[in-house]
Chains A and B, each alone.
Chain A
């Protein structure tokens, strides 16, 4: 029974398209995150939601729009995809904002052609 599940696992698409990645956690955590891991393997936080409220919004282009319909779900929609958006996107969750232990999903590998 996967704790943090994200779909799709792989996504290959053309520049300019719009795509979404979905994330769900069954851990009962209040806080969820989106991280981006680029080709150099740096993991950078993009967004954090606590109980459906946005609490962290790093300098991410506004083509990226997160949405949290409830505290167990955090989706990421990306408009007008660019080559530089190619990366692995990880969803994560924690009990509280600022909790030091994150549980990550398996990642969604996005390739923009």
Chain B
């Protein structure tokens, strides 16, 4: 079982739709959680951190469920420019090394 698992997608949604991705992690000692965004043939970039109480950044909402060991990302009012791969990232005790999921691909259509 991979340490961080994501549905690879693709998720094809129309503009304006709300879409949610989940990510599960296997190490219960994981401490920090993030969503990174990677555009096609580009480098990953930090989208947002995920806090225990849940957090929002504009149209993006991230939630953490430690008991079930999953993280979610909700995107409201999808834009064409949201089309990208969303990478779930966790760190745990061993030197706080980032462990990346395989990513979920989102395609927003007009």
Contacts and interface: CB of A to CB of B under 8 A. Distances in A.
Interface of A: 40-45, 48, 55-56, 90, 97-102, 104-107
A106 B49 contact: no
Q: What is the predominant secondary structure among interface residues of chain B facing chain A? A: strand
A99 B97 CA distance: 8
B95 interface: yes
17 contacts: A41-B103, A43-B100, A45-B97, A48-B95, A48-B97, A56-B95, A90-B44, A98-B91, A98-B95, A100-B32, A100-B34, A100-B91, A100-B96, A104-B43, A104-B45, A105-B43, A106-B42
A112 to B, nearest CB: 19
Contacts of B87: 43
Question: In which size bucket is the chain B interface?
Answer: 20 to 34
Given A98-B97, A102-B98, 18 more contacts: A40-B102, A41-B85, A41-B102, A41-B103, A42-B102, A43-B87, A48-B95, A97-B95, A98-B91, A98-B96, A100-B49, A100-B96, A101-B46, A102-B46, A104-B45, A106-B42, A107-B41, A107-B43
Contacts of A105: 43
A13 to B, nearest CB: 20
A100 B95 CA distance: 11
A45 B91 CA distance: 12
B3 to A, nearest CB: 10
B36 to A, nearest CB: 8
Nearest to B87: A43
B95 A55 contact: yes
A94 to B, nearest CB: 9
A104 B44 CA distance: 7
Contacts of A56: 95, 97
Which of A43, A56, A105, A107 counts the most B-chain CB atoms under 10 A from its CB?
Answer: A43
Contacts of A45: 97-98
A55 B96 CA distance: 12
Contacts of A98: 91, 95-97
B15 to A, nearest CB: 25
Contacts of A107: 41-43
